[in-house]
Each structure stands twice: as structure tokens, then as C-alpha cells.
């Protein structure tokens, strides 16, 4: 499979090139030349297939021959080595829980898949690979964990001091080995600027292969299709396809769901649920895109002012706005309603939502209120324990999941740096 750039200026890339480059030189996003149709065969034993088998069949057309089949299958098995339960909350609303992986968020899937592809591709290269990632909290843990102990790859995570939750910080700083956590005296934007400066440092790049674990990388984006299939395996109403509500920030997750649907997965409607960062809901209302700077909200992993993956959604629909609106709706949910939803769902149904899931729940409930003959599920994108606000709002964040039980007893290892490229460069040079 070849990938073209959504800006249509760069040359086409193979899967391997797209993974290693991350982003085309014209600053567009990589997009598959063909959206593969799922063969009728696929559905024959669908409900009996293993998670790894489904993942393999879904991703194979995109990877092509760039990685041998048996290794792709192994990568898939290692990527989806945890549960994706579909849990009923009300008569017509279920939740697809995506937080049973190592760092308790859906980003584990993309990060695990990408790290293993990169490991495979970097074996063929002579120089060392350094992966650099800036995080506002959730991405860093998933990337650190996904790349932990991956041979030939050093990982440097930049996070803003004092601005990530307790669990998130421990997930970043307690791994050690090939993972270095840099605690930046600054904001998330400073971290991102530092990462970008490093990635543009030509002198450094002559010495080492430097890449980012950015969410726009196709190896993080494409595997997010997998769990939409797992949900449909468990969907009991064969006559009526589900409405799926996706808490959205950068719109990568919902875009992967739409891609799966265009390939043949039955879905009645997608709802992109955003917080107060409402660029896309506004676009749906007015037909005009007005980029804003991001606002801080309770669901902070979705505080995105300029959702980068939306261009991929436009590409899927060939920029046909009418078609797009038939398949996708968008709703912005305020912090006040998010907190109220968290309280209500706990009181009525004894289910603890995290702020991101709450945004998804509310948007789905709102849609089903207007379409009472439909049923659906929302994605619970992270475990409530990851967000310090949950305890304040709900009064509890539930039991501590097994995956992080021993996190609290491990020592924190981080290096404090100024928001200054010289500090970062020195550390990177030591890793070569």
C-alpha cells in the first residue's frame, strides 16, 4: 500500500517510509491510496475470531509486504493483549472500555503497535533510533510503556512539571531502562516546542535517527480500528447497527472508526463528542472552520484547538460535506454538563465515568433522546483513576486497577530541565 499526503505535494510513501517519516515533508498527513474493502470471507467466522486474527486481517492491506506476515501477526497479538469489554449501562447505552491496557487509556493500542513496527524497521538501520515525545499527560505514559525495553530504541519524554496527574507522572517516570522522563520547567507548549526544535536539528540528525511518536503517525492511527471490530463482535443486535460516540480531541480515534466503517464495518452513525474546544461542532453548524487556541477543561486530553486528524476525515469523504454530515455528527459538551453527567451516571447506574467518557456518554444520550429507536455505545477512553478531578466530582474513583497497583511503590526517576533547547540537546547527545 502506498500513502499520499493530504496536501498532495510530497511524493508517495510506502508503509515503512510513512512510519519512519511520521509526517510528509509538505506538512500534510499520510493517507492510504486505497481504503481496502473487507472481503466477505472475513465475516464468516467473525464472532469466533481471536482479537489478534481480526487485527491482522484489518491491518494487513495497509502494511503490505513491508513486514512479513508472521511478524505482523505477532505484533498484533502483542498490541491487543488486554480486554476490550462492551458493558451495558442503560437500556440503550453501552460503553466500550478501552482502559484495560498497561497505562489505562486507548492510546496503549497505537503506542504498542507503533513501537513494534519501529523496532522492526530500525533493525535494518545502522544508527540508533531516538524517539522523542512531548506530553500533556496521557500520550507520554502510553508511549513510554509501548517502547519500554524495545531493543535499539531510546525514548525521551518531555512533560510539564506539576501539570500532569499523579498516576500519569508515575507512569512516565518509574520505568527506567531505555525510557528517560524530562521534567520541563514550563508548559506543555514549551515541551512541544522543544521536541520540534530537536526534530529539526540537522546536526543532531546526522548523528542519530531521530523521530517522534506523534499521534498522526499511521502506525498509531490505523490500529485504532481494531477495537471497533471487537465491539461489533459483541454487539447483540444484528439487525440494527450501533450509534458510536467518540470523545474527541485530535479526531484520530473517531477517524479510525470511520475508516473501519468505510471498509465494511456496520455502524449507524458516529458522534464526535468534544469538550468546550468546539472547532469541529462549529464547523458542522456553520460549514466554516475557525481554528482557535485551546481552552483548559476537565477532559484535558481533548484540549485541542486545531484537530489535526480532521483533514483525514475530509479525505475519507472526498470533501463532500453532505455525505460527511450523514455519517458524522459533532457535539460540544461543557465542563458543567460533564461533571453533572459523571454525578448522575454514578448515582443512577453506579458506573464511574472519567471526564472524557462523560463527554461521550452525554453526546450519545442526547442523540438517542432524539432518535429513540436506536441504540449505541460510547468509548470510555481512559480509566477514571488517571484524573484527579474524578474523586472530587464523584466522591470515588473506584478500585485501583491491577495494572498500576505497584506503581505507587516504585521510585520516580526524572531529570529536571529548563524550557531551553541547550539542556535538551545535551541530554540527547549523551544518548548517542
Ligand X SMILES: *Cc1c(COP(=O)(O)O)cnc(C)c1O
Would you name the residues annotated as active-site residues? 107
Which grid coordinates belong to 398? Answer: 473506584
Our measurement of the distance from residue 259's CA atom to the centroid of its chain's CA atoms, rounded to an integer in Å, reads 15
Kindly tell me which of 179 and 302 has the beta carbon lying closer to ligand X: 302
Beta bridge partners of 31: 4
Residues 28-57 that bind ligand X (CB under 6 A): none
Contact segment (CB under 6 A) with ligand X among 1-9, 111-119, 143-151, 250-258 equals 250-258
Using the structure block, give the residue that is written with the C-alpha cell 495494572. Answer: 403
Choose among 284, 384, 291, 290: nearest CA to 338. Answer: 384
CB nearer to ligand X: pick between 132 and 359: 359
Residue that has been written with the C-alpha cell 502506525 in this structure: 219
382 in contact with ligand X (CB under 6 A): yes
312 binding ligand X? (CB under 6 A): no
- Supply the minimum distance, in Å, between the C-beta of residue 180 and ligand X: 22
CB of 188 to ligand X, least distance (A): 13
Nearer to ligand X, 154 or 329 (CB): 329
CB of 384 to ligand X, least distance (A): 10
Q: Is 168 in the site for ligand X (CB under 6 A)?
A: no
**Can you read off the three cell numbers belonging to residue 89?**
449501562
CA-CA distances (angstroms) from residue 266 to 119, 179, 242, 247, 327? 34, 40, 8, 20, 12
Binding-site size, ligand X (CB under 6 A): 15
Which of 51-59, 81-89, 234-242, 249-257 is the region at the interface with ligand X (rule: CB under 6 A)?
249-257
| Mode of pairing for the β-strands spanning 209-212 and 243-247 | unpaired
Which of 101, 160, 249, 281 binds ligand X (CB under 6 A)? It is 249
The reply to whether 383 sits near ligand X by the rule CB under 6 A is no
- Give the distance from CA 386 to its chain's centroid: 15
Query: Residues for the chain: how many in total?
Result: 432
Is the sign of the CA dihedral 203, 204, 207, 212 positive or negative?
negative
In the set 136, 174, 214, 253, which binds ligand X (CB under 6 A)? 253
- The CB-of-325 to ligand X minimum distance in angstroms stands at 19
Rounded CA-CA distance 103/173 in Å is: 13
Distance separating alpha carbons of residues 12 and 34, to the nearest angstrom: 13
Nearest approach, Cβ of residue 385 and ligand X (Å): 12
Residue 362 lies near ligand X (rule: CB under 6 A)? no
For residue 380, the number of C-alpha atoms closer than 13 Å in the C-beta half-sphere is: 26
Minimum distance between the CB of residue 421 and ligand X, rounded to whole angstroms? Answer: 26
Q: Which residue is nearest to ligand X (CB)?
A: 250
Residues 6+ apart with CB under 8 A from 233: 46, 47, 49, 54
Q: Which of 57, 97, 108, 138 touches ligand X (CB under 6 A)?
A: 138
Member of 220, 269, 356, 375 binding ligand X (CB under 6 A)? 356
The one among 93, 302, 316, 390 contacting ligand X by CB under 6 A: 302
Closest CB to ligand X among residues 107, 269: 107
**How many Cβ atoms are within 10 Å of 126's Cβ, its own excluded?**
6
Q: Are strands 13-14 and 209-212 parallel, antiparallel or unpaired?
A: unpaired
| Shortest CB 273 distance to ligand X, Å | 9
In 3D, which of 117, 101, 102, 161 has the Cα closest to residue 137?
161
**Window 67-106: residues binding ligand X (CB under 6 A):** 105
Helix, coil or strand: residue 181: strand
Q: Are 352 and 384 in contact (CB under 8 A)?
A: yes
Q: How far is the CB of 344 from ligand X (least distance, A)?
A: 20
Q: Under the criterion CB under 6 A, does residue 107 sit at the interface with ligand X?
A: yes
- As a whole number of angstroms, the distance between CA 303 and CA 206 comes to 35
- 181 is written with which cell numbers? 522522563
Choose, by CB under 6 A, the member of 171, 178, 250, 277 that binds ligand X.
250
Cell of 379: 468509548
- Residue 105 or 170: the one with the smaller Cβ distance to ligand X is 105
Task: Name the residue nearer to ligand X (CB basis): 210 or 280.
Answer: 280
Binding pattern to ligand X, positions 272-301, x when CB under 6 A? -----------------------------x
Contact between 379 and 247 (Cβ < 8 Å): yes
Strands 93-97, 376-380: parallel, antiparallel or unpaired by DSSP?
A: parallel
Window 229-248: residues binding ligand X (CB under 6 A): 247-248
Given the complex with ligand X, which of 223 and 247 has the nearer CB atom?
A: 247
- Kindly state whether residue 381 participates in binding ligand X, applying the rule CB under 6 A: yes
- Residues forming the site for ligand X (CB under 6 A): 105, 107, 138, 247-253, 301-302, 356, 381-382
Amino acid at each position: 500500500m502506498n500513502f499520499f499526503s493530504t496536501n498532495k505535494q510530497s511524493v508517495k510513501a510506502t508503509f515503512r517510509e510513512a512510519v519512519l517519516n511520521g509526517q510528509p515533508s509538505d506538512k500534510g498527513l499520510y493517507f492510504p491510496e486505497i481504503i481496502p474493502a473487507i472481503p466477505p470471507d472475513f465475516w464468516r467466522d467473525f464472532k469466533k475470531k481471536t482479537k489478534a486474527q481480526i487485527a491482522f486481517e484489518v491491518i494487513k492491506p495497509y502494511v503490505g509486504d513491508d513486514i512479513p506476515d508472521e511478524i505482523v501477526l505477532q505484533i498484533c497479538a502483542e498490541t491487543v493483549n488486554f480486554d476490550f469489554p462492551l458493558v451495558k449501562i442503560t437500556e440503550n447505552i453501552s460503553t466500550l472500555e478501552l482502559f484495560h491496557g498497561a497505562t489505562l487509556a486507548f492510546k496503549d493500542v497505537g503506542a504498542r503497535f507503533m513501537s513494534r513496527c519501529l523496532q522492526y524497521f530500525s533493525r535494518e538501520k545502522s544508527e540508533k533510533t531516538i524517539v522523542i515525545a512531548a506530553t500533556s499527560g496521557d500520550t507520554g505514559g502510553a508511549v513510554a510503556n509501548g517502547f519500554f525495553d524495545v531493543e535499539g530504541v531510546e525514548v525521551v519524554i518531555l512533560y510539564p512539571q506539576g501539570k500532569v496527574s499523579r498516576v500519569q507522572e508515575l507512569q512516565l517516570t518509574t520505568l527506567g531502562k531505555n525510557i528517560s522522563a524530562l521534567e520541563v520547567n514550563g508548559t506543555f507548549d514549551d515541551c512541544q516546542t522543544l521536541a520540534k526544535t530537536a526534530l529539526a536539528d540537522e546536526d543532531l540528525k546526522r548523528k542519530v535517527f531521530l523521530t517522534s511518536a506523534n499521534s498522526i503517525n499511521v502506525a498509531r492511527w490505523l490500529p485504532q480500528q481494531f477495537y471497533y471490530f471487537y465491539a461489533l463482535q459483541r454487539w447483540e443486535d444484528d439487525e440494527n447497527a450501533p450509534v458510536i460516540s467518540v470523545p474527541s480531541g485530535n479526531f484520530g480515534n473517531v477517524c479510525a472508526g470511520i475508516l473501519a466503517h468505510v471498509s465494511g464495518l456496520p455502524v449507524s452513525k458516529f458522534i464526535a463528542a468534544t469538550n468546550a474546544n468546539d472547532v469541529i461542532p462549529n464547523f458542522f453548524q456553520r460549514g466554516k472552520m475557525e481554528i482557535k487556541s485551546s481552552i483548559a477543561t476537565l477532559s484535558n486530553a481533548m484540549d485541542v484547538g486545531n484537530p489535526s486528524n480532521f483533514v483525514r476525515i475530509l479525505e475519507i469523504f472526498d470533501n463532500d460535506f453532505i455525505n460527511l454530515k450523514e455519517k458524522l455528527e459533532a457535539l460540544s459538551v461543557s465542563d458543567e454538563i460533564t461533571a453533572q453527567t459523571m454525578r448522575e451516571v454514578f448515582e443512577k447506574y453506579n458506573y464511574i465515568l472519567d471526564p472524557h467518557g462523560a463527554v461521550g456518554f452525554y453526546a450519545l444520550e442526547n442523540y438517542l433522546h432524539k432518535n429513540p429507536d436506536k441504540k449505541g455505545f460510547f468509548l470510555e477512553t481512559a480509566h477514571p483513576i488517571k484524573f484527579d478531578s474524578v474523586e472530587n466530582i464523584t466522591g470515588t474513583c473506584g478500585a485501583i486497577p491491577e495494572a498500576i497497583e505497584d506503581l505507587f511503590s516504585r521510585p520516580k526517576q526524572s531529570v529536571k530541565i529548563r524550557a531551553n533547547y541547550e539542556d535538551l540537546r545535551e541530554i540527547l547527545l549523551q544518548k548517542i
